[in-house]
Amino acid sequence: QKEVEQDPGPLSVPEGAIVSLNCTYSNSAFQYFMWYRQYSRKGPELLMYTYSSGNKEDGRFTAQVDKSSKYISLFIRDSQPSDSATYLCATSNTGNQFYFGTGTSLTVIP
Amino acid sequence: SQTIHQWPATLVQPVGSPLSLECTVEGTSNPNLYWYRQAAGRGLQLLFYSVGIGQISSEVPQNLSASRPQDRQFILSSKKLLLSDSGFYLCAWSRGTLYEQYFGPGTRLTVT
């Protein structure tokens, strides 16, 4: 079983829609959860980082962790064409090793 | 602020040729350093990570090797490239006390 599973999509939404991106993880010891945005032919960019359970909000982005179900989510409100990218979830329990999902490709249509 | 550099940005090499990719980090000391490979449409595959000078952990057996000659320098090498070595190579750094990882711009390698 992979440490992190992520639906690859692709996901296509109209501009202004609310986007929900999701991952599941296997190891209950994971405590730290991250979301990255990767534009085509670029390195991943850290979007948000959360510790343990709960929500974290940053502008139009909200990261949510449900440790009871081992489920992590990223919500994007009022989606924009500039949000079109691949989104990667990641987790870690030691700060030395990180486990990534395969990424979800998102297209926001103007 | 911290910055991570990788070069070259793109590289086309024939099968059997050697490889050297370099990564440097500025603005921090004693970082953890990582090399990943990302194949088209696939996730990140961890190749090597290092928690200090001369300390390299290999995650995947292959014809690649890594070295860390200085605190903030990480090098990925191969003596003889294979077609299957083509991909997008990413260097990343983190601080062991903070659970965030930051990536460089990547090197796109095509082996012909």
Residue of B96, B102, B106 with shortest CB distance to A95? B96
Percent pLDDT > 90 in chain A is 73
Q: Cα A75–A80–A85 angle (5° rounding)?
A: 70
Average pLDDT value for chain B: 91
Q: pLDDT band for position B92 (50/70/90)? A: very high
In whole angstroms, give the CA distance from residue B20 to residue A84. 33
pLDDT of residue B22 exceeding 90: yes
- Name the phi and psi angles at B96, rounded to 5: -60, -25
pLDDT over 90 (residue B75): yes
Encoding tokens for residue B25?
């980090």
Say if the Cβ atoms of A96 and B103 lie within 8 Å.
no
Instruction: Classify the phi-psi angles of A78: left when phi > 0, otherwise alpha if psi is within -120 to 50, otherwise beta.
Output: left
Whether A3 has a pLDDT exceeding 80, the answer reads yes
Q: Can you read off the two tokens belonging to residue B4?
A: 């991570």
Which residues in A lie closer than 8 A to residue B94 (C-beta atoms)?
95-96, 98
Do B79 and B67 meet the contact criterion of CB atoms below 8 Å apart? Answer: no
**Rounded Cα gap, residues B29 and B64, in angstroms:** 26
Nearest CB to B43: which of A34, A92, A102?
Answer: A102
pLDDT at res. B97: 65
Q: How far is A47 from chain B (nearest CA, A)?
A: 10
pLDDT digits (tens, 9 = 90+) for A57-102: 999 999 999 999 999 999 999 999 999 999 999 998 776 788 999 9
- Characterize B57-92 residue by residue with b for buried, 16 or more Cβ atoms within 10 angstroms of its Cβ, and e for exposed: eeeeeeebebbbeeebebbbebeebeeebbbbbbbb
